[in-house]
Structure 1
Amino acid sequence: MNTILIADDDFISLEVLKAMLASYSLEIVCASNGSDALALAKEKQPQLIILDYEMDDLTGAEVCIELRKDSAFSNTPIIALTGHQSSTHLDHCRDAGMDETLHKPVAPDALAQLLKTYQLV
């Protein structure tokens, strides 16, 4: 079974995304901050990681930069979850090594396409 790590410091956003993923045959691992996301990623070795752009302790971009230093995560898809649409934020995500951006509020179709793109369903 494929594992997905979701990290978001907003409880409601995390629960909504978790509920959207519940209909798929996936193991869902959740973190409520960047430090926990980093630790869980190393422990669980997920096949896909979705990181909120803005978290209090470590941003999604900072977590991504740390993960990309580890060769175990060189090919793991890491997705930015953000409500921002500015080119500055999107460039920062790309520069950090994130593969794509998923915009809040997350559309079910966009999530389904993401899972298909990375062959998780």
Structure 2
Amino acid sequence: MLFGSHLKQLTTSLFLFDALGLGLFTIVGIEIGLRYHLGPGVCVALGTITACFGGVIRDVLLNKVPLIFQKEIYALACVLGGSGYILLLQFPLNTNISKIICILLIFFIRVIAVRYKLALPRTSLKH
């Protein structure tokens, strides 16, 4: 609303930081769930919600339709990366390495999806 014209100049940088933040906040949400001994599915859901809600707030403040409500691959990247993190925790690998791998996985899923215009299929609801 206030800085709309200036934000257009920074679109690529903002997108890359958004994709990186998506991965970071997914892992943060999963870690909180694991700290409270929640199940893996709940932890992945918690990480996905944590990551996506920040984007919803950003888009609402910019007076845009949130990406999560469009057909872009946004939450799916969080689910895939978060599931990868849960799987990597089963192996004798340093936890920080697992976190970095999954943050980068989410980042690259998001970047590749936007770069190649990959999207989820639309469903039609008929009464």
Per the shorter chain, which TM-score range? under 0.3
Higher helix content, 1 or 2: 2
RCO (CA 8 Å, sep 6+): is it higher in 1 or 2? Answer: 2
Rg bigger for which structure? 2
Give the structure-2-normalised TM-score.
0.26
Whose strand fraction is larger, Structure 1's or Structure 2's?
A: 1
- Output the TM-score relative to the length of structure 1: 0.27
